[in-house]
Amino acid sequence: MSIGKTIIVSDTKPLQQYKWGNDCDAYVLVDEPQLNVKLEQMPAGASELMHFHATVQQFFYVLAGEATMEIDKKMLALKKSEGVLIKPGAVHRIMNSGNETLRFVVTSQPGVGSDRTNV
């Protein structure tokens, strides 16, 4: 069995790195049409805009800090080692209302591409 070309990625060697929102960092770990995986960091007090994806489902998993997820007008607190699945069409955002940097992995299937509508 051949695994082809193996690419090892990390936050120090991502496929791509970029800033978003209020000084948040994104590290692209997998960028395929059917799957995106990103490691993201949000400073205390930062939040994402409310949005939804028509066809993409996403899984958010907290590595450090505490996240507040707003999903379809309901609030959900996530601590380290906890995650939540967001189904297509659910209006959502992630927020860091804690005092420390929030680190989390967000997995999107299929890849997000242009499937994002801010509300």
- Residue 22 belongs to domain spanning: 16-118
CATH of the domain at 51: 2.60.120.10
Sheet containing strand 16-20, edge to edge, reads: 16-20, 24-32, 35-42, 102-109, 57-64, 83-86
Would the pLDDT of 103 be above 50? yes
State how far the Cα of 33 lies from the Cα of 18, in Å rounded to an integer: 19
CA quadruple 39, 43, 44, 49: dihedral sign: negative
In this predicted model, what pLDDT tens digit does every residue of 37-46 receive, in sequence order? 999 999 999 9
Contact status, residue 57 vs residue 115, Cβ threshold 8 Å = no
Closest to 11 measured CA to CA, from 101, 111, 112, 115: 101
The reply to whether 8 falls in a domain is: no
Residue 74 is given by DSSP the state E
Within-domain flag for 10: no
In a domain, 11, yes or no: no
Residue 56: predicted pLDDT: 98
pLDDT in tens, 41-88: 999 999 999 999 999 999 999 999 999 999 999 999 999 999 999 999
- Any domain includes 56: yes
Question: How far is Cα 81 from Cα 66, in angstroms, rounded to an integer?
Answer: 10
In a domain, residue 6? The reply is no
Distance in angstroms (rounded) separating the CA atoms of residues 84 and 45: 21
Distance CA 27, CA 35 (A): 14
* pTM, two decimal places: 0.92
